[in-house]
Structure 1
Amino acid sequence: MHAPAGPADADRAFARLQLIRSPRIGPVTYRQLIARFGDARAALDALPQLALRGGGGAPAKLAQPDAIRRELAAAAKLGARHVFLDDADYPRLLAELENAPAAMLVRGDLSLTARSCVAMVGARNASAAACRFARQIAQGLAQEGVTVVSGLARGIDTSAHLGSIDGGTVGVIASGIDIAFPPENRELQERVASEGLLIAEQPPGTEPLARHFPSRNRIIAGLALGTVVVEAAPRSGSLITARIAGEAGRDVMAVPGSPLDPRAQGCNLLIREGATLIQSVEDIVEAIRPIDTRAMRAPISSYTVEPAAEPGAAERRAIESLLGPVPVPVDELIRQAALPSATVQLMLLELELSGRLERHAGGRVSLI
């Protein structure tokens, strides 16, 4: 049971949520601001000046306090709570991702994420045989004490939740925590929230949009030691989840299928590219057990940022001249500019807050 928040905790939660919901504050920016200024209130106070230094024509806008109060009240009414990136009970494996969600709404037992977790994903139009196999594998994993993470979609996701719900399942959705999608999974989503754990990154009342699903997928992959793909087409969201898992250094596993079935092509492709071939629960357990979560990096609360001196005009021109519409790795900017990392990161932060910089996957940035 989560302890009730006192006034100081409530004020801190309000400031963090206001920072997260403010325009141009993404997960990477939030992490840098908290690390640089120590807390959300100090970061909020610094935003206008940072944006002006980045060349913004107007001061940075902050999320309206009334909107934050409405979100907090809606969460409480729904029986949900916010978990922030710098909270002690934020899922440790997820915090490893550079773009880990700065805040999530949760309903249910968050301690399920502290166990060994495996993500199971696959086709929405999966075959009956694949759904049955996914359900059996999920049930076997739950019996082994492994938490099964999936996305509450049709097909493989639904089967994974049904198989593991009695032993430990986590559902991650692309909508607000009060919206069920697909609608026929409303009852299952409620069961996951009451018997397992339900996670949403979007504010309550948010309908699922196409751009929300890749964000949802990174949470699924980030929570887990490994991702199992049961059936998937070559260009599917399931393969995006597998790619994110691989980039994060997690195990990628796939169930082979007939080359005559288009729904198996994605899995067979993953295996050809080096994914672990899965035929049983034992195969999955063997793949994830060697990973010791105690070796993972410390949570954000212990991060520090190297102090950065105020960049001069020449330094600003040097960085801006290296930027363009084509995304470039930040490490490459630092190397070519021959400037301290902290100085480059500060200038990129200012440009982003002024609305002139866009961040991309893989630690890349470009000018807008």
Structure 2
Amino acid sequence: MDQPTPITTHLNDAQRVDWLRLIRSDNVGPRTFRSLINHFGSARSALERLPELAHRGGATRSQRICSEEDARDEIAASNRLGVALLAPGEAGYPPRLAALDDAPPLLGVRGAPPLLGVRGAPEVLMRPMIGIVGSRNASGAGLKFAGTIARDLGEAGFI
């Protein structure tokens, strides 16, 4: 199986708006986002081609593309909350998360001022991480077991 091409970048403000617009557009998830960026070279170019791609793909209605105004409003709201939107390859974006083929193109990160690094990324994101995935309707025993695992991993230094 082919390995996904890693997206690594340092976005300027206009590129960050374009990335947010692309990932907030209909039918564009992380994998499609990555494919579009790899194929067209930029989010702006991909955004320009989305209607044509949707039509060629058999779409019977026009595809909703996130407006520049909506993206700028979301970024401004994030900034007011102290949240930085980080792209893979930018300081603070967890490298192991960036290596996944469905890594979020933009990761909202909020942290206390003493922990903030470049573009608002908490240093805590560089620590070893683990995720626990389970049932939406877990049993009491399952919840207790997951809690025990989470506590033990936290005590071992994982986030």
The TM-score with structure 1 as length reference comes to 0.32
Residue 75 of structure 1: aligned partner = 78
Q: Distance in 2 between matches of 1:22 and 1:65?
A: 11
Tell me which structure has the larger Cα radius of gyration. 1
Listed as ranges, the matches of 1:278-357 within 5 Å are: none
SS at 1:99 equivalent: coil
Query: What is the CA-CA distance between 1:103 and the residue it aligns to?
Result: 1.7
Bigger relative contact order, structure 1 or 2 (CA pairs below 8 A, ≥6 apart):
2
Query: What is the CA-CA distance between 1:132 and the residue it aligns to?
Result: 6.7
Cα deviation 1:286-312 (Å, max 9, x = unaligned) = xxxxxxxxxxxxxxxxxxxxxxxxxxx
SS at 1:81 equivalent: strand
SS at 1:117 equivalent: coil
Query: What is the CA-CA distance between 1:22 and the residue it aligns to?
Result: 0.6
2:39 is the counterpart of 1:23: no
Q: Distance in 2 between matches of 1:71 and 1:60?
A: 20
Q: Distance in 2 between matches of 1:58 and 1:134?
A: 45
% of aligned pairs identical?
36
Query: What is the CA-CA distance between 1:57 and the residue it aligns to?
Result: 3.0
**Cα gap change, 1:47/1:116 in structure 2, threshold over 3 Å: closer, same or farther?**
same
2:102 is the counterpart of 1:99: yes
2:135 is the counterpart of 1:135: no
Gaps of 5+ in 2: 1-10, 116-121
2:127 is the counterpart of 1:111: no
Residue 54 of structure 1: aligned partner = 57
The TM-score with structure 2 as length reference comes to 0.69
Q: Decide which structure has greater strand share.
A: 1
Residue 303 of structure 1: aligned partner = none
* 2:15 aligns with one of 5, 9, 12: 12
Q: Distance in 2 between matches of 1:90 and 1:57?
A: 37
Contact 1:49–1:59 (Cα < 8 Å) also in 2? no
Give the aligned CA root-mean-square deviation in angstroms.
2.9
Cα deviation 1:296-345 (Å, max 9, x = unaligned) = xxxxxxxxxxxxxxxxxxxxxxxxxxxxxxxxxxxxxxxxxxxxxxxxxx
SS at 1:106 equivalent: strand
**Residue identity opposite 1:12 in structure 2:** Q
**Residue identity opposite 2:154 in structure 1:** A
Residue 47 of structure 2: aligned partner = 44
Gaps of 5+ in 1: 1-7, 143-147, 150-368
Residue 6 of structure 2: aligned partner = none
Contact 2:88–2:95 (Cα < 8 Å) also in 1? no
Q: Distance in 1 between matches of 2:43 and 2:100?
A: 20
